[in-house]
Chains A and B, each alone.
Chain A
């Protein structure tokens, strides 16, 4: 079946450091890929997405590139801020008859210190 694996974390960084959160997936066909962010006590917010191979999703300084050859969708940001502290989820949608269902990774906690 479909699955998403992301680095366990937690990840602790100083402000202005470079961020990478790894995400790899297993899916049949050509899934769409997503990164969601969850701030404490809130629902998930869509951060960025990519729908086909080599697409780069970007938003708020975050980027991720859909790499079909390595089945990866790593999240990066060049300079993190304290306000980026949150839980980050990688997810895929396999399309077809999945009715839009998402398969999520377990989430990675990011803490950014001043």
Chain B
């Protein structure tokens, strides 16, 4: 069966520091991968999606970037965090021929 992992689970970082969040998927190959941010426990904002290695599409211009160095690895990064980057970050995957997405456990980021 497929599983999706995210780490770290929680992170507290000062303003201006770098960020790296990692997401890995097991049990499937060539998944579509997604990064979302959720503010205040409610609506989800799609940040990036990827349909293959090295292929990244950005939905919202911002202080963040994403990379996909391996088929089942998706990384969210920032060179300098802002207070507004605080939130709950969720990674998700979907198959190539199915449209439902499966979410990881999330990373709670607090920028101080």
Q: Which A residues are closer than 8 A to B by beta carbons? A: 32, 34, 36, 38, 41-46, 49, 51, 87, 89, 93, 95, 99-102, 104-107
Contact = CB atoms under 8 A, between A and B. Distances in A.
Interface of B: 6, 32, 34, 41-44, 46, 49, 51, 57, 90, 92, 94, 98-106, 108
A89 B98 CA distance: 19
A100 B105 contact: no
A36 B44 CA distance: 12
Contact of A101 (B6, B41, B49, B103): B49
Given A87-B42, A99-B32, A44 B103 contact: yes
B43 A107 contact: yes
Contacts, number: 55
Given A99-B32, A101-B49, A104-B43, 6 more contacts: A42-B105, A44-B90, A46-B100, A99-B49, A100-B99, A107-B42
B106 A42 contact: yes
A87 B57 CA distance: 28
Contact of B106 (A43, A49, A102): A43
B49 A49 contact: no
Contacts of A51: 99
Nearest to A44: B103
Closest CB pairs A-B (n = 4): A43-B103, A93-B99, A100-B94, A44-B103
Given A44-B90, A99-B51, A89 B100 contact: no
